[in-house]
Structure 1
Amino acid sequence: MAQQPTAAGYSVLFLCMGNICRSPTAHGVFRHRVQAAGLADRVRVDSAGTHNYHPGEPPDHRSQRHASRRGYDLSDLRARKMLLADFAAHDLVLAMDWDNLAMAQELCPPQHAHKLRRLTEFCLHMQSPVVPDPYYGGTTGFDGVLDLVEDACEGLLQHVQRELQHRSKS
């Protein structure tokens, strides 16, 4: 069951279609960045899919292999479908592309609509409107996903740090 975000903490949900490639990659990368920043006790990271194609399955082996080469462990993650409760439970719901953003917007209660964004909005150096789905492509697609996700997660970490600082002053 999803939990309400705490006033002192922050929670981020990454969202893609099946929750086996892009969103678990973002989950693993951001979790790693959060831990390295010493914020694991204050920032909750999760991922889900807009479709229930792979419930309970680990991330795609190609996603895991490419992430592992860069020092990210995705092996403990399991696919799940996004729940209505996720909108209340998270401070940000970050979609990987326009289609998944649109699906989330259709389901999202109006009071939580401000939480919906695309992950690539946080990119610091790269410019892409979306994180493309590598599932049906070659191995270079998985490296491209990681490049975008790493850049966006660095910008996202800066955003979350500012939000946490603001909340601690309130």
Structure 2
Amino acid sequence: MPRRVLLVCTGNICRSPLAEGILRHHSQAAGLNIEFDSAGTHSYHVGEPPDARAIQAARARGVNIEQLRARRIEAEDFARFDCILVADHANLQALQARLGPVSQTAQLLLAKAGIDPRGEVPDPYYASLREFEACFDLLDRAARKLLSSWLNPA
């Protein structure tokens, strides 16, 4: 079971803070001692809270992400975290382009969860609240599967 998990998306205001909040929520409920954080591959929103629609979708399902603030991933994160989960292929490629070989340890979140080996978490940024809710539901499913696999390794 990992002890430190980093979730990564583009700007760190939609998918990765949702994933961080959901995983933290479920791991605390299970009594697990896992550190979660999130970051973006780009610095578009550094210091900003999650998108209001992400906050709303999470709050409606009992998960609080309001206190989170966007940050950009740094090379040091690869030494600090033992599991780095990325929302999509474009962000995996961005890690490789920016950080080089160190980014080889990052994996697609949905693949690691066993949901879809090539699947991507759709970016709801240019969409409506409904897409943020669907994103939350997909990430919630992935989080439950990840935690189950970490608690019951094959």
Q: Same fold (TM over 0.5)?
A: yes
Identity %: 41
Pair 1:152-2:145 in alignment = no
Structure 1 unaligned segments of length 5 or more: list them. 1-7
AA matched with 1:47: S
Q: Distance in 2 between matches of 1:32 and 1:128?
A: 26
Structure 2 unaligned segments of length 5 or more: list them. none
Q: Give the number of aligned pairs.
A: 154
Normalised TM-score (structure 1): 0.82
Pair 1:53-2:44 in alignment = yes
The answer to whether the 8 Å contact 1:126/1:151 transfers is no
Among 22, 41, 45, the residue aligned to 2:15? 22
Aligned to 2:96: 105
Higher alpha-carbon Rg: 1
Aligned to 1:37: 30
Please give the residue correspondences for 1:111-130 in structure 2 after superposition, counting only pairs within 5 Å: 113=104, 115-123=105-113, 129-130=119-120
AA matched with 2:57: H
Among 126, 132, 135, the residue aligned to 1:136? 126
Q: How far 1:76 sits from its partner (Å)?
A: 1.0
Q: Distance in 1 between matches of 2:117 and 2:124?
A: 17
Among 71, 78, 84, the residue aligned to 1:93? 84
CA RMSD of aligned residues (A): 2.3
Distance change in 2, residues 1:17/1:75 (3 Å): same
- Matched residue of 1:83: which SS? coil
Pair 1:73-2:73 in alignment = no
Q: Distance in 2 between matches of 1:161 and 1:105?
A: 30
- Matched residue of 1:133: which SS? coil
